[in-house]
Chains A and B, each alone.
Chain A
Amino acid sequence: MHKGLQTHPNFYFLLLSILQVGLNTVEAVWPLPQTFISSSEQYRLNPQTFYFGYGMQSAAQPGCTVLDSAFKRYFSLIFLDLTSGYGALRFSVDKPFSVEISVDRDDCDGYPSEDSSEKYNLTVSAGRASLNAQTVWGALRGLESFSQLVYQDDFGSYFVNKTEIEDFPRFQFRAILLDTSRHYLPVQTILKTLDAMAYSKFNVFHWHIVDDPSFPYQSRTFPDLSAKGAFHPMTHIYTQSDVRRVISHGRLRGIRILPEFDSPGHTKSWGKGQSDLLTPCYNGGIPSGTFGPINPALPSTYTFMATLFKEVSSVFPDSYIHLGGDEVDFTCWRSNPDVRAFMQAMGFGGDFTKLEAFYMENIMNITSALNKTSIVWQDVFDYHERRSSLSVVEVWKEGCYLCEVRRVAKAGLKVILASPWYLDQPGPSHNWARYYTVWPLAFKGTEEQKKLVIGGEVCMWGEYVDATNLMPRLWPRASAAAERLWSDEQQTSNVDKAFPRLQEFRCKLLRRGIQAEPLYVGHCKHEYQGI
């Protein structure tokens, strides 16, 4: 399909388009498509004679929820100031323009998954554009690209240039993590983030939903968890219908919702609503009144976890689930005589990493019995002897993160890279390029091993982030990571070439109501009007 074009020297065409069209449309699409050819031939678009439609051969036809609602959404995104009075009095009659979408499979009612194809082809020519994809998820990516191709001249008229795009993602897993435990994020904020994710072609929302500080997930089975563990039992929670709303909002944008229920550490808030779940810490032979990680020595723990994960598996449709497993502090376990006795009985000696491994093993058995693929933070891989039971490892620690990626891939496990993309840390420089000049596959390894790197993730931890500052802290820096994860590395290795494109894309985000902060001095035609 795309091979014929790929062998053409892309740069020749890019150069040509720069010379011919000027600033308006040059590589207007972020993240950069795999092949992108455009010419100076431009077509005027008139909202009154603009149509989306299904191709004759398309497996999906009118009534396809995903595409029907995408048409509605993208019409407004393409004709942005339609409401502000697009000349109702127009004397010249514009030729109609239609965008015809064809997909090979009718997966309109499904959920995007780890093996959903996001490949699409887009051809824009006189009077029509045709967008072909294997799945509706690919079609969504193509619609996003099309919407970014449309521009306005100084008189407000809309144009699109003759263009040919063949596109597919470099990595299949392109995620953003939000942390709703350290600060509660209103559902509105999460939905807005999903909108912005779609603009940068992110496809996984990693929902770090609970942690030490609070437990906002309202469980059907264990309502006490949020009743006692949330910051507030009524206002700072996610009800089942909130969760469904997030999942459905994500689905319509081709975004998977990946929940994380991190254990055995990072669980302080769980203990408030579930007694005997956490390990009582001891101080000089007596319980100190404080609690440590989940108690791995009690059978009741596993019964509880099995029940909870059964619920979680049915609530979240994605086939992946994140089990955490990071930063387990052993001091409390060590202080507890029952835990020590259990260690003895199991023959773990004094090695608490074995106890942690034992616990994680049990949890992974629970989730795999529920047909879920589990993701764990790298700690679990680092301290786990029986690595064969693991499947996906997320690398998050600083230092030589590619060394770790290599180790995980060598062990034959799938890898997600997060280390270079901790965006909750704003300093020291405002340099977005730090998130752009990341080379996830620059390690020694076989082709097979590199294929195990399934993608990357932007992390926005919540210690210092809530709804007041999330959006500008996330955008447009996350978009820099998005291009790294979607686009061809060779075509996107130059920061200076990316800078004007990203600046333009940032203004586009503003225009769409996303509070994306500036990259450097300058201005956008339409500035953000909030406070």
Chain B
Amino acid sequence: MDTALRFAVLLLTLSFGAGLQLNYIDDYEEEPKEEDVSADSKYGSLWPLPQKIQMSEISFKLTSSSFKIVDAKESSAGPSCSLLKDAYRRYYEYMFGSSKRQQLNKRRRTGPSELTELQVLITSPDSDCDGYPSVTSDESYELSVDQPYAVLRAPKVWGALRGLETFSQLVFEDDYGAKSINATQISDFPRFAHRGILLDTSRHYLPIKVILANLETMAMNKINVFHWHIVDDQSFPYLSRTFPQLSQQGAYHPYTHVYTPADVKMVIEFARLRGIRVIPEFDTPGHTQSWGKGQKDLLTPCYSGATPSGTFGPVNPILNTTYDFMSQFFKEISTVFPDAYVHLGGDEVDFNCWKSNPDIQKFMAQQGFGQDFSKLESFYIQRLLNIVTSTKKGYMIWQEVFDNGVKLKPDTIIHVWKGTQLQYQNEMANVTSAGYQTLLSTPWYLNRISYGQDWRGHYKADPQDFNGTDEQKKLVVGGEACLWGEYVDATNLTPRLWPRASAVAERLWSAKDVTDINDAFNRLSVHRCRMVERGIPAEPLFSSFCPREYKGL
């Protein structure tokens, strides 16, 4: 009778594994059908998709015994450019594997359809080889795969790094296991200069190894900023030379759960070699519970009635000692982290403790702030910004600081993270119409999980989708995928981040009109298998397989 009908309806709404569809927060997408299997894209496995590609049917073979990546004669980066040397080896190993390297056979004649060389040519007089990447670094490159050799041309080493990744993505294995590459011309550059990932090392400590593995994966996705949310309420793992008691008292463990200066240095250099900036965030005045353990009188004592309750609130903004401390602390930070920017946080300040404290109330009255505690917050931030400015650093701040009307330097970057789509689009419009640069994260909180292919939602979000003039749109420097740490540590970070962050990576690198989601699915499926093959446990998009499954267990 109606059973068959009922069944049909059931089948429409439930697929077996999706049996218990509950009310998820971000229900971006209808469920994929079982037929949703990947097909080949005409762009192979390129991810993120380059700006201009011409691919031909002609293909060349590559063999591990004769293929080389070398500096072109005219290149401004010489043999002493270890950044490139390191990258050549890395990409050779990605392409041919490090373990089963065959011995070089010099006598073997190369066949007519063989490609034996990739020449890397840095065209600008200063290659930037020993520098650090910055927001203005040129990442463009041109790649020509043809005989007698392939040429990768880039103004700076940063573009060369991106081009090497692209070259390695062009190499494929034919049915006989031989490496091949099609004759190809690519001209490429990023759509946005700031393409970041935030990792949170306070809520859970992340071993250095995990951070490095993710820098490696970021490079595979042409992501160029590691936003290191290094401390927060829960723990203070940063080992400060000036204030060692901060981590001594504030880390989960003073030896096993800290980042020593050598660790930080290693992260920065590892990132530099991959063209990735490291921007540290020292979030104040809220999110600072762990700071208080190692630095007396820094936090505001909260009162219960007329007596201190024994608990503490945000940084105490009314004491001069606070600003002395901050000056010294940020002086250290400005020398430890080479990037021109530091992220100062400024989000989610809870006013209750400030309200309860009689000294603060007195100060408020003196300053004429009335009961408007956002004025007090502004007062604090203002002074902090002056301190950081004096260390010759630019700053990024979470959107609340802008929303509260704090006076900012014109080159401040406002980081938008709150609200619905409509709300963040309005915020982007407001920030840019005030003339500030901005960075979007709201749609890319990857710590939020839901059932199914939520990468599709991440892929569709566009940071320039808001009402504004072309001038305003130009003020959007990029975006960041955030992986907050409440429920994430070394056990689940990598598969939760990848390949979901790859969707963000393409949105931020590729042209605005690269929006074909089916083509993206096809390329991303192969790209995810490539990450798996390179040893990264990137999780699957849907039922499928990789030729070489993850075995890292």
Which chain A residues have a beta carbon within 8 Å of chain B's beta carbons? 179, 182-184, 186, 188-189, 192, 212-214, 231-232, 235-236, 266, 326-331, 351-353, 383, 396-398, 419, 422, 424-428, 430, 461-469, 471-473, 510, 515-523, 525, 527-531
The reply to whether A472 and B16 form a contact with Cβ atoms under 8 Å apart is: no
Does the CB pair A425–B492 fall under 8 Å?
A: no
B472-501 CB contact bits vs A (8 Å, 1 = yes)?
000000000000011111111111100000
- B325, CB-defined interface residue at 8 Å: no
Q: For residue A407, give the distance in angstroms from its CB to the closest CB of chain B.
A: 16
CB pair B451 A528 closer than 8 Å: no
Residues on the A chain within 8 Å of B20, using CB: 398, 419, 422, 425
Known A-B contacts A231-B545, A383-B3; the reply to A517 vs B487 at CB < 8 A is: yes
Can you list 19 residue pairs at the A/B interface with Cβ under 8 Å? A186-B553, A192-B553, A232-B547, A326-B16, A329-B8, A351-B3, A383-B3, A397-B19, A398-B21, A424-B451, A425-B20, A428-B24, A465-B540, A469-B496, A518-B489, A523-B235, A523-B257, A527-B490, A530-B491
Residues of B within 8 A of A515 (CB): 491-492, 553
Give the contacting residue for B543; candidates A183, A186, A235; CB below 8 A. Answer: A183
Partner of B544, one of A183, A235, A396: A183
**Smallest Cβ-Cβ distance to A418: which chain B residue:** B19
- B486 neighbours in A (Cβ, 8 Å): 430, 520-521
Closest to A401 in B: B20
Q: Which of B4, B17, B492 contacts A517 (CB 8 A)?
A: B492
In the bound complex, what is the Cα–Cα distance between A184 and B540 (angstroms)?
11
B542 within 8 A of A: yes
Question: In the assembly, what is the distance between CA of A467 and CA of B15, in Å?
Answer: 22
A466 touches B540 (CB 8 A): yes
Say whether chain A's binding surface is mostly helix, strand, loop, or mixed. Answer: loop
Question: What is the minimal beta-carbon distance from A292 to any residue of chain B, in angstroms?
Answer: 12
- Is the beta-carbon distance between B17 and A184 smaller than 8 angstroms? no
The answer to whether B545 and A463 have CB atoms under 8 Å apart is no
10 more contacts with CB within 8 A, not counting A426-B450, A531-B210, A531-B493, are A179-B17, A351-B3, A352-B4, A422-B19, A461-B16, A521-B485, A523-B205, A523-B235, A525-B256, A527-B256
Q: Is B18 an interface residue (CB 8 A)?
A: yes
Residues of B within 8 A of A (CB): 1, 3-4, 7-8, 10-11, 14-25, 34, 203-205, 207, 209-210, 213-214, 234-235, 252-253, 256-257, 448-452, 485-496, 532, 535-545, 547-553
Q: How far is the CB of A305 from chain B (nearest CB, A)?
A: 21
**A214 contacts which chain B residues (CB < 8 A)?**
545
A189-B553, A523-B204 known; A428 vs B25 contact (CB < 8 Å) = yes
Known: A430-B487, A521-B486, A531-B209. Is A467-B4 also a contact (CB below 8 A)? no
Point out the residue from B22, B253, B490 that lies within 8 Å of A531, measured CB to CB. Answer: B490
Q: Please tell me which one of the listed residues A182, A331, A397, A425 contacts residue B451 in the complex, with CB atoms under 8 A apart.
A: A425
Q: Which residue of chain B has the shortest Cβ distance to A268 in the bound complex?
A: B34
- CB contacts (< 8 Å) of A231 on chain B: these are 544-545
What's the Cα separation between A527 and B541 when bound, in Å? 28
Q: Which residues of B lie under 8 Å from residue A510 when comparing CB positions?
A: 491
Note all chain B residues with C-beta closer than 8 A to A182: 17, 543
Q: Which of chain B's residues has its CB closest to A509's CB? A: B491
| Given A353-B4, A525-B253, A530-B552: A468 and B19 interface contact (C-beta under 8 Å) | no
Q: Give A176 Cβ to nearest chain B Cβ, in Å.
A: 15
Inter-chain CA distance A383–B6, complex, in Å, is 12
Q: Give complex CA distance A443, B15 in Å.
A: 28
Determine the chain A residues whose CB is within 8 A of the CB of B253 once the complex forms: 523, 525
